[in-house]
Chains A and B, each alone.
Chain A
Protein backbone atom coordinates (compact mmCIF):
# COMPACT_ATOMS: atom_id res chain seq x y z
CA UNK A 1 0.00 0.00 0.00
CA UNK A 2 2.88 2.31 0.87
CA UNK A 3 4.54 1.60 -2.44
CA UNK A 4 1.27 2.25 -4.27
CA UNK A 5 0.79 5.51 -2.36
CA UNK A 6 4.34 6.58 -3.24
CA UNK A 7 3.79 5.67 -6.89
CA UNK A 8 0.49 7.56 -6.98
CA UNK A 9 2.22 10.56 -5.42
CA UNK A 10 4.96 10.33 -8.04
CA UNK A 11 2.39 10.00 -10.86
CA UNK A 12 0.44 12.89 -9.46
CA UNK A 13 3.48 15.10 -9.67
CA UNK A 14 4.60 13.92 -13.08
CA UNK A 15 4.67 16.60 -15.69
CA UNK A 16 2.39 16.51 -18.69
CA UNK A 17 3.44 13.85 -21.17
CA UNK A 18 2.14 11.08 -23.46
CA UNK A 19 1.21 7.71 -21.93
CA UNK A 20 0.53 4.28 -23.44
CA UNK A 21 -3.09 3.44 -24.20
CA UNK A 22 -3.67 0.30 -26.23
CA UNK A 23 -7.20 0.06 -27.52
CA UNK A 24 -8.36 -3.51 -28.04
CA UNK A 25 -11.60 -3.50 -30.04
CA UNK A 26 -12.61 -6.87 -28.60
CA UNK A 27 -12.68 -5.30 -25.12
CA UNK A 28 -15.43 -2.92 -26.15
CA UNK A 29 -17.19 -5.49 -28.33
CA UNK A 30 -16.39 -3.74 -31.60
CA UNK A 31 -14.42 -6.64 -33.06
CA UNK A 32 -17.73 -8.06 -34.39
CA UNK A 33 -17.88 -5.36 -37.04
CA UNK A 34 -14.35 -3.92 -37.24
CA UNK A 35 -12.39 -6.33 -39.45
CA UNK A 36 -9.01 -4.65 -39.13
CA UNK A 37 -7.03 -3.62 -37.21
CA UNK A 38 -7.84 -5.63 -34.05
CA UNK A 39 -6.85 -2.59 -32.04
CA UNK A 40 -4.33 0.25 -32.04
CA UNK A 41 -2.03 2.39 -29.94
CA UNK A 42 -4.11 5.45 -29.12
CA UNK A 43 -2.00 7.00 -26.30
CA UNK A 44 -3.29 9.66 -23.93
CA UNK A 45 -2.01 12.82 -22.27
CA UNK A 46 -1.69 13.12 -18.53
CA UNK A 47 0.32 15.12 -16.01
CA UNK A 48 0.56 18.53 -14.47
CA UNK A 49 1.49 21.78 -16.12
CA UNK A 50 3.68 23.25 -13.37
CA UNK A 51 4.87 26.77 -12.80
CA UNK A 52 7.20 27.75 -14.40
CA UNK A 53 6.31 25.98 -17.65
CA UNK A 54 9.29 24.39 -19.33
CA UNK A 55 9.89 24.66 -23.06
CA UNK A 56 9.30 20.96 -23.70
CA UNK A 57 5.77 21.23 -22.35
CA UNK A 58 4.74 22.62 -25.71
CA UNK A 59 2.64 25.40 -24.25
CA UNK A 60 0.83 28.34 -25.78
CA UNK A 61 1.31 31.96 -24.68
CA UNK A 62 -2.07 31.77 -23.03
CA UNK A 63 -1.07 28.65 -21.06
CA UNK A 64 2.10 30.41 -19.84
CA UNK A 65 0.08 33.40 -18.63
CA UNK A 66 -2.60 31.16 -17.04
CA UNK A 67 0.08 29.21 -15.18
CA UNK A 68 1.66 32.43 -14.01
CA UNK A 69 -1.68 33.70 -12.68
CA UNK A 70 -2.29 30.31 -10.99
CA UNK A 71 1.01 30.71 -9.14
CA UNK A 72 -0.34 33.79 -7.37
CA UNK A 73 -4.06 32.95 -7.32
CA UNK A 74 -4.99 29.26 -6.96
CA UNK A 75 -8.63 30.01 -7.83
CA UNK A 76 -7.48 30.11 -11.42
CA UNK A 77 -6.69 26.53 -12.52
CA UNK A 78 -3.45 25.42 -14.11
CA UNK A 79 -3.24 24.92 -17.82
CA UNK A 80 -4.53 21.54 -19.04
CA UNK A 81 -2.45 18.68 -20.37
CA UNK A 82 -4.00 17.88 -23.75
CA UNK A 83 -3.15 16.34 -27.15
CA UNK A 84 -1.45 18.91 -29.34
CA UNK A 85 -0.87 16.65 -32.35
CA UNK A 86 -3.04 13.78 -33.54
CA UNK A 87 -2.87 11.39 -36.47
CA UNK A 88 -5.42 9.25 -38.33
CA UNK A 89 -6.00 5.52 -38.56
CA UNK A 90 -7.70 3.45 -41.23
CA UNK A 91 -10.47 1.05 -40.27
CA UNK A 92 -11.81 -1.81 -42.36
CA UNK A 93 -15.31 -2.58 -41.14
CA UNK A 94 -18.79 -3.80 -41.98
CA UNK A 95 -21.52 -1.20 -41.69
CA UNK A 96 -25.13 -1.72 -40.63
CA UNK A 97 -25.99 -2.94 -44.17
CA UNK A 98 -23.10 -5.46 -44.16
CA UNK A 99 -21.23 -3.39 -46.74
CA UNK A 100 -17.46 -3.48 -46.36
CA UNK A 101 -15.88 -0.05 -45.92
CA UNK A 102 -12.29 1.12 -45.64
CA UNK A 103 -12.22 4.57 -44.10
CA UNK A 104 -9.61 6.92 -42.79
CA UNK A 105 -10.54 8.46 -39.43
CA UNK A 106 -8.69 11.59 -38.42
CA UNK A 107 -7.46 12.50 -34.92
CA UNK A 108 -7.40 8.95 -33.54
CA UNK A 109 -3.80 8.70 -32.27
CA UNK A 110 -2.10 11.14 -29.90
CA UNK A 111 1.27 12.07 -31.35
CA UNK A 112 2.15 14.82 -28.91
CA UNK A 113 0.93 16.37 -25.64
CA UNK A 114 1.23 19.87 -24.29
CA UNK A 115 -0.10 22.42 -21.80
CA UNK A 116 -2.95 24.48 -23.19
Chain B
Protein backbone atom coordinates (compact mmCIF):
# COMPACT_ATOMS: atom_id res chain seq x y z
CA UNK B 1 0.00 0.00 0.00
CA UNK B 2 3.02 2.31 0.03
CA UNK B 3 2.63 3.32 -3.61
CA UNK B 4 -1.11 3.88 -3.77
CA UNK B 5 -4.30 4.15 -1.77
CA UNK B 6 -5.32 0.52 -2.40
CA UNK B 7 -3.65 -1.80 0.14
CA UNK B 8 -1.31 -4.36 -1.39
CA UNK B 9 -3.40 -7.21 0.08
CA UNK B 10 -6.50 -5.94 -1.71
CA UNK B 11 -4.63 -5.57 -4.98
CA UNK B 12 -3.23 -9.10 -4.74
CA UNK B 13 -6.56 -10.67 -3.81
CA UNK B 14 -8.31 -9.04 -6.75
CA UNK B 15 -5.56 -9.97 -9.20
CA UNK B 16 -5.53 -13.59 -8.00
CA UNK B 17 -9.31 -13.97 -8.12
CA UNK B 18 -8.97 -14.99 -11.78
CA UNK B 19 -12.02 -13.00 -12.88
CA UNK B 20 -9.94 -10.94 -15.28
CA UNK B 21 -6.71 -11.25 -17.17
CA UNK B 22 -3.74 -9.77 -15.25
CA UNK B 23 -3.70 -6.79 -17.58
CA UNK B 24 -7.43 -6.13 -17.16
CA UNK B 25 -7.10 -6.47 -13.38
CA UNK B 26 -4.34 -3.91 -13.34
CA UNK B 27 -6.42 -1.50 -15.43
CA UNK B 28 -9.48 -1.87 -13.18
CA UNK B 29 -7.37 -1.39 -10.07
CA UNK B 30 -5.72 1.70 -11.52
CA UNK B 31 -9.13 3.14 -12.42
CA UNK B 32 -10.36 2.53 -8.90
CA UNK B 33 -7.20 4.10 -7.54
CA UNK B 34 -7.93 7.24 -9.56
CA UNK B 35 -11.47 7.36 -8.18
CA UNK B 36 -10.13 7.12 -4.64
CA UNK B 37 -7.62 9.90 -5.27
CA UNK B 38 -10.31 12.04 -6.89
CA UNK B 39 -12.59 11.45 -3.90
CA UNK B 40 -9.92 12.91 -1.61
CA UNK B 41 -8.92 15.62 -4.06
CA UNK B 42 -5.40 14.23 -4.38
CA UNK B 43 -3.15 13.78 -7.40
CA UNK B 44 -1.10 11.02 -5.81
CA UNK B 45 -0.87 9.23 -2.49
CA UNK B 46 0.51 11.56 0.22
CA UNK B 47 3.77 10.37 1.68
CA UNK B 48 4.54 12.86 4.45
CA UNK B 49 8.04 12.99 5.89
CA UNK B 50 8.79 12.81 9.59
CA UNK B 51 9.47 16.53 9.57
CA UNK B 52 5.89 17.31 8.55
CA UNK B 53 4.26 19.53 11.16
CA UNK B 54 0.55 19.57 11.93
CA UNK B 55 -0.24 23.02 13.36
CA UNK B 56 -2.02 22.86 16.70
CA UNK B 57 -4.57 25.35 15.36
CA UNK B 58 -5.68 22.84 12.72
CA UNK B 59 -6.06 20.17 15.40
CA UNK B 60 -8.13 22.64 17.47
CA UNK B 61 -10.30 23.43 14.44
CA UNK B 62 -10.79 19.74 13.80
CA UNK B 63 -11.87 19.16 17.39
CA UNK B 64 -14.13 22.18 17.42
CA UNK B 65 -15.75 21.95 14.03
CA UNK B 66 -15.67 18.40 12.80
CA UNK B 67 -18.85 16.41 12.66
CA UNK B 68 -17.05 13.56 14.39
CA UNK B 69 -14.82 15.63 16.64
CA UNK B 70 -14.85 16.51 20.32
CA UNK B 71 -17.66 19.04 20.56
CA UNK B 72 -16.69 20.09 24.08
CA UNK B 73 -13.72 21.97 22.61
CA UNK B 74 -14.34 25.68 22.69
CA UNK B 75 -13.40 28.19 20.03
CA UNK B 76 -9.67 28.96 20.36
CA UNK B 77 -9.31 32.38 22.01
CA UNK B 78 -7.16 33.60 19.18
CA UNK B 79 -9.63 32.58 16.50
CA UNK B 80 -11.07 35.66 14.89
CA UNK B 81 -14.82 36.05 14.57
CA UNK B 82 -14.38 36.31 10.83
CA UNK B 83 -12.63 32.93 10.86
CA UNK B 84 -15.43 31.35 12.82
CA UNK B 85 -17.98 32.68 10.36
CA UNK B 86 -15.80 31.55 7.48
CA UNK B 87 -15.56 28.02 8.84
CA UNK B 88 -19.33 27.82 8.96
CA UNK B 89 -19.45 28.39 5.19
CA UNK B 90 -16.41 26.35 4.13
CA UNK B 91 -16.04 22.62 3.66
CA UNK B 92 -12.25 22.81 3.35
CA UNK B 93 -9.72 24.50 5.63
CA UNK B 94 -6.11 24.58 4.47
CA UNK B 95 -3.01 25.72 6.33
CA UNK B 96 0.24 27.00 4.86
CA UNK B 97 3.65 27.83 6.23
CA UNK B 98 5.62 30.47 4.40
CA UNK B 99 8.59 29.74 2.17
CA UNK B 100 11.47 30.59 4.48
CA UNK B 101 13.94 30.81 1.63
CA UNK B 102 11.98 33.77 0.25
CA UNK B 103 11.54 35.73 3.46
CA UNK B 104 13.00 39.20 3.70
CA UNK B 105 13.60 40.80 7.06
CA UNK B 106 14.35 44.46 7.67
CA UNK B 107 14.59 46.66 10.74
CA UNK B 108 14.60 50.42 10.67
CA UNK B 109 13.71 53.26 13.03
CA UNK B 110 11.75 51.37 15.63
CA UNK B 111 10.01 49.00 13.26
CA UNK B 112 10.66 45.54 11.95
CA UNK B 113 9.19 44.36 8.67
CA UNK B 114 9.02 40.83 7.44
CA UNK B 115 7.99 39.72 3.98
CA UNK B 116 6.31 36.35 3.62
CA UNK B 117 5.50 34.31 0.60
CA UNK B 118 2.99 31.48 0.86
CA UNK B 119 2.80 29.04 -2.03
CA UNK B 120 -0.94 28.59 -2.64
CA UNK B 121 -0.69 26.67 -5.90
CA UNK B 122 -1.99 23.49 -4.24
CA UNK B 123 -5.48 25.04 -3.87
CA UNK B 124 -7.59 23.54 -6.68
CA UNK B 125 -9.10 26.00 -9.13
CA UNK B 126 -12.66 24.85 -8.43
CA UNK B 127 -12.39 25.81 -4.77
CA UNK B 128 -13.88 29.17 -3.86
CA UNK B 129 -11.99 30.95 -1.09
CA UNK B 130 -14.49 32.33 1.41
CA UNK B 131 -11.96 33.72 3.88
CA UNK B 132 -8.32 33.67 4.93
CA UNK B 133 -6.47 34.57 8.10
CA UNK B 134 -2.79 35.18 8.75
CA UNK B 135 -1.82 34.07 12.23
CA UNK B 136 1.24 35.40 14.05
CA UNK B 137 2.41 34.24 17.47
CA UNK B 138 3.53 36.66 20.16
CA UNK B 139 5.49 35.63 23.23
CA UNK B 140 4.94 37.46 26.46
CA UNK B 141 7.74 39.95 27.22
CA UNK B 142 8.92 39.10 30.72
CA UNK B 143 8.89 42.00 33.16
CA UNK B 144 6.27 43.92 31.22
CA UNK B 145 2.87 44.14 32.81
CA UNK B 146 -0.34 45.07 31.10
CA UNK B 147 -0.69 48.80 30.85
CA UNK B 148 -3.78 50.19 32.59
CA UNK B 149 -6.33 50.82 29.89
CA UNK B 150 -7.94 53.78 31.64
CA UNK B 151 -4.88 56.01 31.04
CA UNK B 152 -4.13 54.99 27.50
CA UNK B 153 -5.28 55.87 24.04
CA UNK B 154 -5.22 52.43 22.44
CA UNK B 155 -8.05 50.15 21.47
CA UNK B 156 -8.69 46.59 22.59
CA UNK B 157 -6.30 43.99 21.17
CA UNK B 158 -9.25 42.19 19.64
CA UNK B 159 -10.40 45.08 17.55
CA UNK B 160 -8.87 46.15 14.29
CA UNK B 161 -8.43 49.84 13.66
CA UNK B 162 -6.31 52.20 11.66
CA UNK B 163 -5.36 54.57 14.47
CA UNK B 164 -1.58 54.81 14.61
CA UNK B 165 -1.24 56.92 17.76
CA UNK B 166 0.71 54.39 19.80
CA UNK B 167 2.13 56.26 22.73
CA UNK B 168 2.07 53.76 25.57
CA UNK B 169 4.99 51.60 26.75
CA UNK B 170 4.44 47.80 26.55
CA UNK B 171 2.28 48.27 23.50
CA UNK B 172 3.12 47.74 19.89
CA UNK B 173 1.28 47.73 16.60
CA UNK B 174 1.26 44.95 14.06
CA UNK B 175 0.36 45.94 10.50
CA UNK B 176 -0.29 43.36 7.81
CA UNK B 177 0.08 44.45 4.19
CA UNK B 178 -0.44 42.80 0.84
CA UNK B 179 2.61 43.21 -1.37
CA UNK B 180 1.41 44.02 -4.87
CA UNK B 181 4.56 45.20 -6.57
CA UNK B 182 8.33 45.09 -6.43
CA UNK B 183 10.20 48.15 -5.10
CA UNK B 184 10.94 50.86 -7.64
CA UNK B 185 14.64 50.86 -6.71
CA UNK B 186 16.83 48.06 -5.30
CA UNK B 187 16.92 49.69 -1.86
CA UNK B 188 13.33 50.88 -1.98
CA UNK B 189 10.30 49.41 -0.28
CA UNK B 190 7.80 47.14 -2.03
CA UNK B 191 4.41 48.47 -3.07
CA UNK B 192 1.92 47.49 -0.40
CA UNK B 193 -1.60 48.05 0.79
CA UNK B 194 -2.79 47.66 4.36
CA UNK B 195 -5.02 44.63 4.99
CA UNK B 196 -5.34 44.59 8.77
CA UNK B 197 -3.77 46.23 11.80
CA UNK B 198 -3.87 45.81 15.56
CA UNK B 199 -2.49 47.24 18.76
CA UNK B 200 -1.23 44.55 21.09
CA UNK B 201 0.08 44.37 24.66
CA UNK B 202 3.53 42.93 25.35
CA UNK B 203 2.31 41.30 28.55
CA UNK B 204 0.26 38.59 26.85
CA UNK B 205 1.34 35.47 24.96
CA UNK B 206 -1.11 34.62 22.24
CA UNK B 207 -1.76 34.16 18.57
CA UNK B 208 -2.99 37.16 16.64
CA UNK B 209 -5.30 36.57 13.70
CA UNK B 210 -5.36 39.02 10.81
CA UNK B 211 -7.97 39.05 8.08
CA UNK B 212 -6.22 38.68 4.74
CA UNK B 213 -9.25 37.45 2.79
CA UNK B 214 -9.25 40.13 0.05
CA UNK B 215 -5.69 39.38 -1.04
CA UNK B 216 -5.95 35.58 -0.93
CA UNK B 217 -9.28 35.60 -2.80
CA UNK B 218 -7.71 37.74 -5.52
CA UNK B 219 -4.64 35.52 -5.78
CA UNK B 220 -6.72 32.38 -5.88
CA UNK B 221 -9.13 33.63 -8.54
CA UNK B 222 -6.26 34.90 -10.69
CA UNK B 223 -7.32 38.51 -10.21
CA UNK B 224 -3.86 39.49 -9.06
CA UNK B 225 -0.40 38.00 -8.69
CA UNK B 226 0.71 36.54 -5.36
CA UNK B 227 3.66 38.66 -4.16
CA UNK B 228 3.09 37.70 -0.53
CA UNK B 229 2.50 39.68 2.64
CA UNK B 230 4.50 42.15 4.62
CA UNK B 231 4.12 42.17 8.41
CA UNK B 232 5.31 45.24 10.23
CA UNK B 233 5.92 45.32 13.97
CA UNK B 234 6.02 48.92 15.07
CA UNK B 235 7.31 50.10 18.45
CA UNK B 236 6.68 53.76 19.00
CA UNK B 237 9.01 54.11 21.98
CA UNK B 238 12.18 52.38 20.70
CA UNK B 239 15.43 54.23 20.09
CA UNK B 240 17.12 52.41 17.25
CA UNK B 241 17.57 49.32 15.14
CA UNK B 242 18.94 47.12 17.95
CA UNK B 243 16.19 48.19 20.30
CA UNK B 244 13.58 47.46 17.65
CA UNK B 245 15.01 44.01 16.95
CA UNK B 246 15.20 43.19 20.64
CA UNK B 247 11.57 44.20 21.10
CA UNK B 248 10.48 42.34 17.98
CA UNK B 249 11.94 39.01 19.05
CA UNK B 250 8.77 38.08 20.88
CA UNK B 251 6.72 38.46 17.71
CA UNK B 252 7.60 35.26 15.94
CA UNK B 253 7.71 36.42 12.38
CA UNK B 254 11.10 34.93 11.58
CA UNK B 255 13.24 32.00 12.66
CA UNK B 256 16.17 34.37 13.02
CA UNK B 257 14.35 36.59 15.52
CA UNK B 258 14.21 34.08 18.35
CA UNK B 259 16.51 31.50 19.81
CA UNK B 260 14.21 28.63 20.65
CA UNK B 261 14.47 26.63 17.41
CA UNK B 262 12.48 23.68 18.76
CA UNK B 263 9.34 25.72 19.21
CA UNK B 264 9.58 27.41 15.81
CA UNK B 265 7.54 24.78 13.88
CA UNK B 266 4.55 25.39 16.17
CA UNK B 267 5.10 29.13 16.58
CA UNK B 268 5.84 30.24 13.03
CA UNK B 269 3.31 32.31 11.09
CA UNK B 270 0.45 30.38 9.60
CA UNK B 271 -1.86 31.22 6.72
CA UNK B 272 -5.26 29.51 6.98
CA UNK B 273 -7.67 29.52 4.05
CA UNK B 274 -11.35 28.66 4.17
CA UNK B 275 -12.90 27.42 0.94
CA UNK B 276 -15.74 25.43 -0.56
CA UNK B 277 -15.53 23.10 -3.54
CA UNK B 278 -19.30 23.01 -4.04
CA UNK B 279 -19.59 19.48 -2.72
CA UNK B 280 -21.32 18.82 0.58
CA UNK B 281 -21.83 20.73 3.77
CA UNK B 282 -19.59 23.07 5.68
CA UNK B 283 -17.10 21.80 8.23
CA UNK B 284 -19.16 23.32 11.02
CA UNK B 285 -21.17 20.70 12.85
CA UNK B 286 -24.81 20.45 11.86
CA UNK B 287 -26.06 20.46 15.45
CA UNK B 288 -24.08 23.59 16.24
CA UNK B 289 -25.50 25.32 13.21
CA UNK B 290 -29.01 24.33 14.18
CA UNK B 291 -28.40 25.59 17.71
* Pairwise interchain contact B46-A89, C-beta atoms closer than 8 A: no
Given A92-B62, A99-B94, A103-B283, the answer on whether A40 and B47 have CB atoms closer than 8 Å is no
* Pairwise interchain contact A28-B7, C-beta atoms closer than 8 A: yes
Q: Which 3 A-B pairs have the closest CB atoms?
A: A90-B66, A106-B280, A29-B1
Please tell me the size bucket of the interface on B. 35 or more
* Pairwise interchain contact A35-B68, C-beta atoms closer than 8 A: no
Which of A28, A92, A98, A104 makes the CB contact (< 8 A) with B49?
A98
* Pairwise interchain contact A104-B48, C-beta atoms closer than 8 A: no
B59 within 8 A of A: yes
Please tell me the size bucket of the interface on A. 20 to 34
* Pairwise interchain contact B45-A33, C-beta atoms closer than 8 A: yes
Residues of B at under 8 Å CB distance from A? Answer: 1-2, 5, 7, 10, 39-49, 52-55, 58-59, 61-62, 65-69, 91-96, 122, 279-283
* Pairwise interchain contact B66-A102, C-beta atoms closer than 8 A: yes
* Pairwise interchain contact A103-B92, C-beta atoms closer than 8 A: yes
The interface centre, meaning the residue of B5, B39, B68, B69 with most chain A CB atoms within 10 A of its CB, is B68
* Pairwise interchain contact B281-A99, C-beta atoms closer than 8 A: no
Chain B min CB distance to A99 (Å): 6
* Pairwise interchain contact A104-B46, C-beta atoms closer than 8 A: no
* Pairwise interchain contact A100-B282, C-beta atoms closer than 8 A: no
In chain A, residues 74-109, which have Cβ atoms closer than 8 Å to a Cβ of chain B? 87-90, 92-107
> Which residues of the partner chain B approach A87 to less than 8 Å between Cβ atoms?
67
A103 CA to B280 CA, complexed, in Å: 10
Interface of B is mostly: loop
Which of A30, A40, A98 makes the CB contact (< 8 A) with B52?
A98
* Pairwise interchain contact A92-B7, C-beta atoms closer than 8 A: no
Which of B46, B54, B69, B122 makes the CB contact (< 8 A) with A90?
B69
Residues of A at under 8 Å CB distance from B? Answer: 27-30, 32-33, 35-37, 40, 87-90, 92-107
Which of B1, B59, B61, B95 makes the CB contact (< 8 A) with A99?
B95
> Which residues of the partner chain A approach B5 to less than 8 Å between Cβ atoms?
28, 30
> Which residues of the partner chain A approach B39 to less than 8 Å between Cβ atoms?
105
Given A100-B55, A102-B66, A106-B280, the answer on whether A29 and B42 have CB atoms closer than 8 Å is no
* Pairwise interchain contact A102-B58, C-beta atoms closer than 8 A: yes
Given A101-B94, A105-B280, the answer on whether A93 and B1 have CB atoms closer than 8 Å is no
Given A30-B5, A36-B59, the answer on whether A102 and B45 have CB atoms closer than 8 Å is no
Which of B1, B54, B280 makes the CB contact (< 8 A) with A104?
B280
Which of A28, A36, A94, A104 makes the CB contact (< 8 A) with B283?
A104
* Pairwise interchain contact B46-A95, C-beta atoms closer than 8 A: yes
> Which residues of the partner chain A approach B65 to less than 8 Å between Cβ atoms?
90, 102
Which of B48, B49, B61, B68 makes the CB contact (< 8 A) with A89?
B68
> Which residues of the partner chain A approach B279 to less than 8 Å between Cβ atoms?
106
* Pairwise interchain contact B66-A89, C-beta atoms closer than 8 A: yes
Chain A min CB distance to B265 (Å): 12
Given A95-B122, A98-B52, A101-B92, the answer on whether A90 and B44 have CB atoms closer than 8 Å is no
Identify the closest chain B residue to A92 (Cβ). B62
A111 CA to B49 CA, complexed, in Å: 36
A41 CA to B92 CA, complexed, in Å: 22
